[in-house]
A = this chain, B = another copy of it.
Amino acid sequence: MTQTSEQTRLDQFYADVAGYDLKPLWPIAQELMPLEPKPKTVPWLWRWKTLRELAERSGELITIDRGGDRRVLSLANPGLDGAPYATSTLWGAVQYLNPGEHAAAHRHTPGAIRFVLEGDGVYTTVNGDACDMHPGDLILTPNWNWHDHNSSSERSMIWFDGLDMPTVNALDAIFFEQYPDELLQPVEARNRSERRFPGKGLLPAGASAQPGPGHSPLLAYRWADTDAALEALLEDRGGPIASLEFTDPTTGRPVMPTMACEMHRLTPGGRTVAHRKVGSSVLVVYRGSGASVINGTRFEWGPGDMLAVPSWAAVDHEAAEPSDLFAITDAPVLKALGLYREATLEQPQEVTSSFPG
């Protein structure tokens, strides 16, 4: 067979394949299966100054009626083709509530966490349990739990919203429901989950024998407890970093099967050892200032700044003053599916660029 006729046959073959909703693997195999993850998510930083100012303006311009259920500005990673996602698997956002406002009750299969940045006097009702919110507190509104947000304050409040929505969306598993008549839920109790799971290693008798709901039944983690725990861990392990995970007290597992919450306390005095892990994160600076190097780019940060960290990116941190970084990650998903890996870099990362300040 001549080369020309072979090419003709090949062209005809590729045309036929395409016409029957098929794709040959061989031309795209290397792109489909890279040697290591090639995320579209890019390392990125959102400044608190911007987030706060725009959130405030949204509070003036957008009523919650006009704006749907929630007044939320989501972090849109520039690598993700305009999707409103902080990373390929995680949603990050700021939510703003004016004094006296109420955000109506609904529920959805994506699970959400709230990490309070500023303000006071707000409570989130979760399946009837009104959970008070203060700066530094972590509040859970898990998969398919009714929830509404309510201000009884004279100050506005801003918090960080973290959701597993991109993951749940990729799995075509999103369900959503408005609370009947679009009302708020009746408040059955205040901070009840904290009374029911009242201390470390202390559970209501009988709890250990029963299968739980698959997520933490403790809905509020208070800053005072978190702060004391970080201090104790730091004392035990030494600096420059102490890391804790918020967990389900009835299982010791992540707060949700789809998303983990962590808090990292950094002490000044040098960069942490750089490491990579499969799966992405969103970091929220709660306190302090410093810099992180992600895949060679240096990101300087201060209170309220938010960072997107892609899968398998090399990351290290350096605090300029004592600092606390809150984080959400998709690690529980990777671990459940046998896809988690991590590695420590043998040498410090070279810094090749700086994120614009």
A341 nearest CB neighbor, chain B only: B175
* Binding-face segment, A197-205, A296-304, A346-354: A197-205
> Is A338 touching B54 in the complex (CB atoms < 8 A)?
no
> Is A208 touching B253 in the complex (CB atoms < 8 A)?
yes
Give chain B residues whose Cβ lies under 8 Å from the Cβ of A50.
20
Give chain B residues whose Cβ lies under 8 Å from the Cβ of A101.
none
A258 contacts the other chain (CB 8 A): yes
A46 contacts the other chain (CB 8 A): yes
Give chain B residues whose Cβ lies under 8 Å from the Cβ of A167.
170-171, 337
Contact with B along A130-143 (1 / 0, CB 8 A): 00000000000001
> Is B72 touching A25 in the complex (CB atoms < 8 A)?
yes
Report Cα–Cα, A282/B334, bound state, in Å.
23
The one of B74, B215, B233, B330 in contact with A196, judged by C-beta atoms closer than 8 angstroms, is B233
> Is A171 touching B89 in the complex (CB atoms < 8 A)?
yes
Contact with B along A36-68 (1 / 0, CB 8 A): 111101001010001100100110011000111
Give chain B residues whose Cβ lies under 8 Å from the Cβ of A248.
201, 252
Q: Kindly provide the distance from the CB of A228 to the nearest chain B CB, expressed in whole angstroms.
A: 6
Central interface residue in A57, A171, A310, by most chain B CB within 10 Å: A171
Contact with B along A97-110 (1 / 0, CB 8 A): 00000000000111
Give chain B residues whose Cβ lies under 8 Å from the Cβ of A279.
171-173
A168 nearest CB neighbor, chain B only: B339
> Is B84 touching A33 in the complex (CB atoms < 8 A)?
no
Other A-B contacts than A16-B57, A167-B337, A194-B232, 14 sampled, CB-CB below 8 A, are A20-B46, A21-B46, A25-B68, A35-B176, A37-B175, A170-B170, A171-B279, A171-B311, A171-B334, A171-B339, A198-B229, A198-B233, A200-B201, A204-B245
